[in-house]
Amino acid sequence: MTEKFTLGDMEVEVTFKDIKNVHLSVYPPEGKVKISAPARMDLDTVRVFAIGKLAWIKNRQKKLREQERETPRELLDRESHYVWGERYLLQVIERDTLPRVELTPGKMLLYVRSGTGVEKRREILDEWYREQLKIAVPPLLAKWESLMGVRVKRFFVRRMKTRWGSCNPETGGIRLNSELAKKPPECLEYLVVHEMTHLLEPTHNDRFMLLLERFIPRWKFYQEELNRLPVRHEEWGY
């Protein structure tokens, strides 16, 4: 069950679950506040909890709103684009050949046919990013399946506007945001392990946090790194 209340001009979303403790999260890009609370707890008690955390919440929101963002991408020469955390300058090359993307030291070469518009260029580049993840993820799954004793039946890569990844424990499938191909490889590994941990514990309860801590002791650093790095101009986050 989900309910909402306000603290001044701040809206707080509360989800009551079969958990033991209260978990508070402030999500990028604009600092949306969500609380997971034990089903036995009443809304007034959750409100008192949130009031006690108000200074921390506002400080976290301030940091998120000051986060560096990309300007809208126009897919023109000398734009900055990121691959695995490294910055490349775009060079658009018009040729009568199949569209493709190549990386050279410091440069991202985007080959397109003459007259290809911005939207089509964006589609080509987005598909290339998806392919990079599709190549990078299987070795990580193989590594962590043996370490964690779980099996991912399927994984999907897509643009996601509200989160970096998700897991469906019932089907054994995970979804990953194609934007992860722009972030450092260790951030991708953290996200993969985070979602795989949901195969052992579906909710973000104490057991989940203990498992994540065991598998990725520096998980908080990688989470902060994802939220700190430049994000797309459009509004989405983890």
pLDDT tens per residue across span 57-94: 998 888 777 665 556 668 889 999 999 999 999 999 99
pLDDT tens per residue across span 167-226: 999 999 999 999 999 999 999 999 999 999 999 998 888 899 999 999 999 998 998 888
CATH 3.40.50.1100 fits 80-228, yes or no: no
Domains of the chain by residue range: 2-65, 80-228
Residue with the two structure tokens 């985007």: 110
The predicted model gives 117-143 an average pLDDT of 96
Q: How far apart are CA 227 and CA 163, in angstroms?
A: 11
Alpha helices, DSSP H, located in 112-203: 118-148, 185-197
Of the candidates 6, 3, 59, the residue with the CA atom closest to the CA atom of residue 31: 59
- pLDDT confidence tier of residue 228, bands split at 50, 70 and 90: low
CA distances from 44 to 6, 26, 48, 49, 237 (A): 12, 20, 6, 9, 29
Q: How far apart are CA 179 and CA 171, in angstroms?
A: 24
The phi and psi torsions of 90 (rounded to 5 degrees) equal -75, 140
Joined together, the tokens standing for residue 67 give 């986060």
